[in-house]
C-alpha cells in the first residue's frame, strides 16, 4: 500500500537499489516445544533502506531479529547478507538492544572499541580509537569519550551504544526496541538522531518496535506481522518526505497511516 505522493528522497528508484539482506521461505520451529514461531518469511533489505517490523507480543519479531543476527538458526529457508549465508554472528552485523549494556569499568571510548578488541585484539582496538572519537562527535558526545558509563544519562549511554554498533562499519543495523527504556522526549530526540546518523552513513536498518508512531516516523517500509504462526501479512510503504520531522506526527496523513496499521493489528486479535 502506498499512502502518499512520491517523495524526493533519492535519485535512485528504490527497486534498483542493491539488495543487502535477503530472506526467502524462512521458517522457525522451536524444537523444545515444537512451537512454530515463524513461517514462510520473505524479506529483502536494500542499501540505505530503513525497515521496521510491528506486531502483537509473541508474534515472532525477536525471533526474526535473532535469526537475522545469526544468534539463532532458522529451521528452513535462506538467510543471506551481502551474498553470504548467515550462519553465526558476524562483524558486518551491527546490533542494538533495549539496554545500552556498557561495561562500567571501561570508559565510553573503550566500550566503543570493545567489539574490535574482542575480535581482533588490543592493538586493533587501539588503532580504532580515533574512529571511535569521530563517532562520538557524530552523536554529540565529543567531550564524553574518557568518562565512565556511570556518568552518562540513559540517552547518552544509548548514543554511545550507537557508536559501538557503528565502529565495525556494519552492512546492516539490527535494532530491537533500542530506545524503549527512555522517556518520551528523549526517545523522540534519539529517533531523530538515529535518522540523521542513518542518512549520513547510508545505513541499512531493521527495527523492531512496539510504537507505531516510531515505526512510521523512521521507516521507508513497515512490515506487519501476525501470530500463530508468526508471519508477515502486510507491507506498508511510508512515502512521507525526508528528512522526517517530529511535527509530521500531528499531520492527518501520519494519523491515517498509524490508523491503518492499528486496523490490521486489531483484526488479528479476533482470529
Ligand atoms: N527459546 C524459545 N523456545 C521456545 N519458544 C520460544 C522461544 N523463544 C520464543 N519462543 C516463542 O516463540 C514465539 C515468538 O516469540 P518472540 O520472542 O519472537 O516474540 P516477539 O514478537 O518478539 O514478542 P514481544 O513483542 O513480546 O517481544 C512466542 O510464542 C514465544 O513463546
Ligand atoms: Mg521481542
Can you give the C-alpha Rg of the chain in angstroms? Answer: 19
Label residue 28 by pLDDT band (50, 70, 90).
Answer: very high
Question: Which stretch of DSSP H or E encloses residue 232?
Answer: strand 231-237
Question: Which stretch of DSSP H or E encloses residue 246?
Answer: none
Which pTM was predicted? Answer: 0.90
- Rounded percentage of the chain residues whose pLDDT exceeds 70: 92
Question: How many angstroms does the Cα of residue 98 sit away from the middle of ligand 2?
Answer: 10
Identify which ligand lies nearest to the alpha carbon of 55: 1
Rounded to whole angstroms, the Cα distance separating 267 from 263 reads: 6
Give the residues across from 175 on adjacent strands: 96, 207
User: Residue 46 has which C-alpha cell?
Assistant: 536494500
Mean predicted confidence (pLDDT) in 128-142 = 93
Whether residue 119 is predicted with pLDDT greater than 80 in this model: the reply is yes
Give 177-229 pLDDT, tens digit per residue: 998 888 888 889 889 989 998 998 899 999 999 999 999 999 999 999 999 89
The verdict on the CB of residue 16 being under 6 Å from ligand 1 is no
Closest CA to 202 of 5, 6, 7, 10: 10
Domains along the sequence of the chain with CATH = 1-6+16-49+60-90+204-225+236-271 (3.40.50)
User: Residue 203 has which C-alpha cell?
Assistant: 545505513
Q: Where are the alpha helices (DSSP H) in 44-112?
A: 61-69, 108-112
Using most ligand atoms within 8 A of CB, pick from 59, 209, 215 the residue to mutate for ligand 1: 59
**Buried/exposed code over 153-163 (b: 16+ C-beta within 10 A; e: otherwise):** ebbbbbbbbbb
Residue 252 φ/ψ region, left for φ over 0, alpha for ψ in the -120 to 50 degree band, beta for the rest: alpha
Residue 108 φ/ψ region, left for φ over 0, alpha for ψ in the -120 to 50 degree band, beta for the rest: alpha
Amino acid at each position: 500500500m502506498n499512502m502518499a505522493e512520491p517523495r524526493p528522497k533519492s535519485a535512485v528508484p528504490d527497486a534498483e537499489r542493491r539488495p543487502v539482506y535477503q530472506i526467502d521461505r524462512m521458517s522457525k520451529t522451536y524444537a523444545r516445544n515444537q512451537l512454530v514461531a515463524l513461517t514462510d518469511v520473505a524479506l529483502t533489505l536494500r542499501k540505505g533502506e530503513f525497515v521496521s517490523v510491528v506486531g502483537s507480543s509473541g508474534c515472532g519479531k525477536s525471533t526474526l531479529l535473532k535469526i537475522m543476527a545469526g544468534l539463532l538458526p532458522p529451521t528452513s529457508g535462506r538467510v543471506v547478507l551481502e551474498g553470504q549465508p548467515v550462519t553465526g554472528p558476524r562483524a558486518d552485523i551491527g546490533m542494538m538492544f533495549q539496554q545500552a549494556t556498557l561495561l562500567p569499568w571501561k570508559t565510553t571510548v573503550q566500550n566503543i572499541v570493545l567489539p574490535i578488541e574482542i575480535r581482533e585484539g588490543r592493538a586493533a582496538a587501539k588503532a580504532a580509537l580515533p574512529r571511535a572519537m569521530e563517532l562520538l562527535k557524530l552523536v554529540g558526545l565529543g567531550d564524553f569519550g574518557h568518562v565512565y558509563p556511570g556518568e552518562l544519562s540513559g540517552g547518552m549511554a544509548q548514543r554511545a551504544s550507537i557508536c559501538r554498533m557503528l565502529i565495525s562499519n556494519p552492512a546492516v543495523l539490527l535494532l530491537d526496541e533500542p530506545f524503549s527504556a527512555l522517556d518520551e522526549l528523549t526517545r523522540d530526540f534519539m529517533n531523530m538522531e538515529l535518522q540523521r546518523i542513518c542518512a549520513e552513513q547510508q545505513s541499512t536498518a531493521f527495527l523492531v518496535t512496539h510504537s507505531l508512531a516510531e515505526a512510521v516516523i523512521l521507516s521507508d517500509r513497515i512490515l506487519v506481522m501476525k501470530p500463530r504462526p508468526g508471519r508477515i501479512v502486510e507491507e506498508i510503504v511510508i512515502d512521507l518526505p525526508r528528512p522526517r520531522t517530529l511535527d509530521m506526527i500531528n499531520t492527518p496523513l501520519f494519523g491515517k497511516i498509524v490508523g491503518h496499521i492499528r486496523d490490521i493489528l486489531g483484526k488479528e486479535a479476533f482470529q
